[in-house]
Structure 1
Amino acid sequence: MTKQQERARERRRQQGQQRAAEPPVSETKKDMQLFAAILAVIFVIGAFIAVPHFLPKGDTAPKAAPTPAASGENAGLQEGQQLAAGCEEPPALQKTPKHFDKLPDKKAAAGKTFVATVHTTCGDIALELDGAKAPQTVASFNFLAKEGYWAPSPCHRVTSSGIFVLQCGDPTGSGSGDPGYGFGIENAPKDGVYPAGSLAMARTQDPNGNGGQFFISYEKTQLPTQGGGYTIFGKVTKGLDIVKKIASHKALPPQTTDGTPVSPISILSVEVTEKKA
């Protein structure tokens, strides 16, 4: 055997001893690695669970459904969506949704009744607004209608399991838009029951988180009363069949009972007039 071969064999022997001397991963280190992996999984799951899920102004449903087009893009139909009978394709979202610095004065609606017509891509929905029971909410609704805040805006959420509502009023289509101001709860039912046709405000978990988003219950719905409930400020007098039609097609998969409607509907404009005695 040559000296060169002997030196090579000696190097291999030393390397083998070195590898043998290296300690295996300790049980403590294994436990730490496993714990870190578990924490990572918990964090991912928690990110979904922690998202407020219940009719907040800053929406809601876990992002199971495709996100609507960004502001200013052509809305069109998202993957999986289809127009319901009698509906037109939704328009593009607003490029720059309006924001306001000042809350409208509730005196403008106090003690009065108003009628509103919500023109949508699926037909007109008629509303009666109760300024006697919810003056601040009605004053805000009237103001936003006059300013064209919702012209246009999609109804971004439909629910069909336990909670039966269509949620609208966010020009961004994301479920997190607001008009730039907030206000408190008025006329929330103590028993948490919202009869079919109820027109009520969506809000964040903050009791003063009412803004521009609202919902229509198309069937009797029981909602939690913790935190103050949700303001009923009117009712549907015509067009509830439109809401039911949209709801019957449910939401986009995979969470078909809560999310972006399979059949899109968008608000085109809202007209409000005072109802004379």
Structure 2
Amino acid sequence: MSTKSREREQARRRQEKWERRQAQLRARRQRRWSIVGVALALVVIGVVVWWALSAAQGSGTDPAAQPDDASSGSTGEHTLPPATAAEGREWTSTLATSVGDITLTLDGAEAPQAVASFVALADSGYFDDTSCHRLTTSGIFVLQCGDPTGTGTGDPGYKFGPIENAPTDDVYPAGTVAMARQGGDGESMGSQFFLVYEDSTIPADAAGGYTVFGTITSGLDVVQAVADAGTADGAGDGSPATPVTIEGVETQ
């Protein structure tokens, strides 16, 4: 073989070797990026699953909960006023609702902290355009309101206790206005309250009964009409079939 032929053959072999080397490097890079891609995908999936589980735990509700399951999520940073703000006197509060006015007399002497909280929230417009999200028509007979989220998990950014002015016989007569709270926790009152439209016996739990802070002096028939229509799904506990929106609250 001539010298030039040998040189061409050597050059061809070097070229083939170089090409094989480049092909190996490309394949290695592809494998590396494939592994990185899979790892990133797994990380993203893990984050999404963690977020979904956290959200589900944070918003879960107990379907068997009593009307004392009040707030577990803040819907605004308000400050709890002192009990002395209720001045130990009676207040008159009118709830202008989408189904008619409901007038309450608030007992600042017997439940000063609950009344002070309610009046302050009402004056700030906290209850405006909020729904009465829960109606019970079996066992106990109440319409629950006061949660801007409409889910039963909202609060004004604070909770308070202890329980004030709870009935010793666990009987809440028709027309009673009482604070909702979380079962077993007497320090969990916030903004949610319930209107009793028919005499109800609500057994006290470990924390006691429920703070009675007022009575319905006008408009009980409005609440009764909502109750007569039942719940949206026909169950004994759920959202009312007749939507009720508190359009505004005037307190004096």
Same structural fold, with TM-score higher than 0.5 when normalized by the shorter chain: yes
2:77 corresponding residue in structure 1: 99
Q: Aligned-pair distance for 1:52?
A: 5.6
In the alignment, structure 1 residue 246 sits paired with structure 2 residue 223: no
Runs of 4+ in 1 over 3 A off after TM superposition: 48-52, 57-60
In the alignment, structure 1 residue 130 sits paired with structure 2 residue 112: no
1:23-102 aligned at under 5 Å gives the runs 53-58=65-70, 97-100=75-78, 102=79
1:213 corresponding residue in structure 2: 192
Q: Aligned-pair distance for 1:160?
A: 0.7
2:6 corresponding residue in structure 1: none
1:121 corresponding residue in structure 2: 98
Question: 2:134 corresponds to which letter in structure 1?
Answer: R
1:147-226 aligned at under 5 Å gives the runs 147-184=124-161, 185-205=163-183, 206-226=185-205
2:119 to 134, 142, 155: 142
Shift in CA distance, 204/160, structure 1 to aligned 2, threshold 3 Å: same
Q: How far apart in 1 are the matches of 2:77 and 2:69?
A: 15
* Contact map agreement 1:53 1:59 (CA 8 A) in 2: no
In the alignment, structure 1 residue 112 sits paired with structure 2 residue 92: no
Deviations 1:191-241 (A, max 9, x none): 110000000000012110101000010000000112211000000000000
Q: How far apart in 2 are the matches of 1:57 and 1:266?
A: 20
**Cα RMSD (Å):** 2.0
Q: How far apart in 1 are the matches of 2:250 and 2:218?
A: 14
In percent, how many aligned pairs have the same letter?
49
Q: How far apart in 2 are the matches of 1:59 and 1:139?
A: 18
- Where 2:127 maps in the other structure, the secondary structure is coil
Q: TM-score, normalised to structure 1's length? A: 0.65
* Contact map agreement 1:57 1:211 (CA 8 A) in 2: no
The number of aligned residues is 189
Q: Aligned-pair distance for 1:98?
A: 3.0
1:263 corresponding residue in structure 2: 242
Q: How far apart in 2 are the matches of 1:50 and 1:265?
A: 23
Shift in CA distance, 264/167, structure 1 to aligned 2, threshold 3 Å: same
Structure 1, unmatched stretches of 5+, are: 1-47, 61-95
Question: 1:132 corresponds to which letter in structure 2?
Answer: A
- Where 1:243 maps in the other structure, the secondary structure is helix
Q: How far apart in 2 are the matches of 1:149 and 1:239?
A: 21
Q: How far apart in 2 are the matches of 1:250 and 1:129?
A: 27
* Contact map agreement 2:71 2:155 (CA 8 A) in 1: no
Q: How far apart in 2 are the matches of 1:242 and 1:111?
A: 29
Q: How far apart in 1 are the matches of 2:76 and 2:236?
A: 31
Shift in CA distance, 248/107, structure 1 to aligned 2, threshold 3 Å: same
Q: How far apart in 2 are the matches of 1:130 and 1:266?
A: 24
* Contact map agreement 1:57 1:177 (CA 8 A) in 2: no
* Contact map agreement 1:191 1:225 (CA 8 A) in 2: no
Q: How far apart in 2 are the matches of 1:164 and 1:99?
A: 31
Q: Aligned-pair distance for 1:103?
A: 1.2
* Contact map agreement 2:180 2:193 (CA 8 A) in 1: yes
Q: TM-score, normalised to structure 2's length? A: 0.71
Q: Aligned-pair distance for 1:57?
A: 4.0
Shift in CA distance, 49/117, structure 1 to aligned 2, threshold 3 Å: closer
Q: Aligned-pair distance for 1:147?
A: 0.5
